[in-house]
Amino acid sequence: MGRVFAVCGMPGSGKGEFAQVLSNNEIPVRSMGDMVREEVARRELDVAPEVFGIVAADLRREFGDDVLAVRLTAAVDELLKDNPIVLIDGLRGTAEYDVFKSTWGDSFQSVAIVTEKQIRFARMEARGRSEDGGTATFEARDEREKGWGLESLIESADVQLENNLDLVHFQDEIRTWLNALM
């Protein structure tokens, strides 16, 4: 069996950059955030910053905190048939972690991206995604994701990568980790 990694981190920490480096190295990536964005589109909702959090919370309330993880495991299993490594981008809750760990056991590991709060906020303002919003949205999103157990996931991750410097340095850190893995 191949190996599954799930990357976690507070909003704006660099999960997407991490996923991009792995994707550039021909590692398939499945994004939990993309699943929420698809649900927003399916419901034909306006793409205002607060909508994404509302939809994510609605899904968890209606189907359980592990809903996104449960929906994703079959797709990852399919990718494992032809790939030695698959990345899940956007692990946010302990219920999701539990699903992944029970599904793949020792073949599953978590990677946390750790970034200072003010750096995360500045990066989110610069990237201009529809779900990012301003200071109040940033704070609310941090608190919501902490409520799902994200801080605990970051603290207990199998691997922690710091992302407080420039992009080139972070990409080098990721490649160093990936080369050691291979």
Q: Long-range pairs for 172-175 at CB < 8 Å and ≥24 separation?
A: 174/17, 174/18, 174/21, 174/22, 175/21
Q: Which one-letter DSSP state was computed for residue 14?
A: S
- Domains of the chain with bracketed CATH: 3-181 (3.40.50.300)
Q: What is the pTM of this model?
A: 0.88
Tokens (6 digits) for 113: 């991206």
pLDDT per residue as tens digits for the range 4-39? 999 999 999 999 999 999 999 999 999 988 888 888
